[in-house]
Amino acid sequence: MKSRQILAASILAADFSRLGEEIREAEAGGIDWIHVDVMDGHFVPNLTMGPHVVEACRRVTDLPLDVHLMIEKPENLLANFAIAGATRLTVHVETCPHLHHTLNSIKDLGISAGVTLNPGTPLTFIKEVMDEVDLILIMTVNPGFGGQQLIKKTLQKVMAARKLQTLHPRDPAYIEVDGGIDPLTIKDTVHAGADVFVAGTAIFQHPLGARSGVQALREALKSGSVKE
């Protein structure tokens, strides 16, 4: 199991009029990754950002850019996001009829590949590609908008994902959770087996700023950690 607990700041909740400043503030607070939610208005009911935003993020930080593609036909844009500076591209099993091929196309670009499951999608859909990914993203809300409450039933899927990846001899994939993560819910996801925690509202809309938001989550992680 990868030992470090990783906090990823979702810029979906950031103030885009001062995006660079927001990212730098989160980085000053000790954030590990920057999470970029790409939505096309078709697969999910929202339209957000594209490769140019990833490129802008790369200009202001050297942190890993964790790019979550909530789009139809992601294979058409993989190279664009890789060139823009993505560290990892995560695609939805629901939008990839040839998932194995798509994941290998990502790796052929020299970056890491991840796979995502919506709350209603069974974990069985990714069993055949476990050796192709370095991250499994379990959506803990229905994707499309920030600020939602974590769906408690998804914690069972996180537990099952943790058990599934221990069966594979290669370096186990990260288990990432995204949606409704705050200083209270993050403890539940730790106990379920997650090791990467995506938070947007809890960071960028913290009353004392992004730095304080990151630090509050880090403290919650410390108090909620499971002894190995």
Question: Per-residue pLDDT averaged across 108-116, rounded?
Answer: 98
Model confidence pLDDT, tens digit, residues 71-93 = 999 999 999 999 999 999 999 99
Model confidence pLDDT, tens digit, residues 168-213 = 767 789 999 999 999 999 999 999 999 999 999 999 999 999 999 9
37, 40, 66, 195: which one is catalytic? 37
Mutual angle of helices 19-28 and 51-60, in 10-degree steps = 50
178 in catalytic set: yes
**Residue 226 tokens, joined:** 């499971």
pLDDT over threshold 50, residue 137: yes
Q: How far apart are CA 93 and CA 157, in angstroms?
A: 15
What's the chain's average pLDDT? 93
> In this predicted structure, what is the pLDDT of residue 228?
39
Closest C-alpha among 81, 88, 154, 148 to residue 117? 154
> In this predicted structure, what is the pLDDT of residue 143?
78
108 domain residue, yes or no: yes
Give me the helices (H) in the chain, please. Answer: 19-28, 51-60, 78-84, 99-108, 154-165, 185-192, 201-204, 210-224
pLDDT over threshold 50, residue 60: yes
pLDDT over threshold 80, residue 51: yes
Q: How far apart are CA 27 and CA 30, in angstroms?
A: 5
pLDDT over threshold 70, residue 5: yes
Residue 2's pLDDT band, with cuts at 50, 70 and 90, is: low
Percentage above 70 pLDDT, the chain: 94
Q: How far apart are CA 5 and CA 53, in angstroms?
A: 26
> In this predicted structure, what is the pLDDT of residue 1?
43
Tell me how many domains the chain contains: 1
* pTM, 2 dp: 0.94
> In this predicted structure, what is the pLDDT of residue 162?
93
Closest C-alpha among 142, 131, 48 to residue 94? 142
> In this predicted structure, what is the pLDDT of residue 224?
66
171 in catalytic set: no
34 domain residue, yes or no: yes
Helix then strand then coil, in percent of the chain rounded to 5, is 45, 20, 35
pLDDT over threshold 80, residue 149: yes
228 domain residue, yes or no: no
What domain range includes position 112? Answer: 6-223
Model confidence pLDDT, tens digit, residues 13-23 = 999 999 999 99
Supply the CATH number for residue 151's domain: 3.20.20.70
32, 178, 182, 195: which one is catalytic? 178
87 domain residue, yes or no: yes
127 domain residue, yes or no: yes
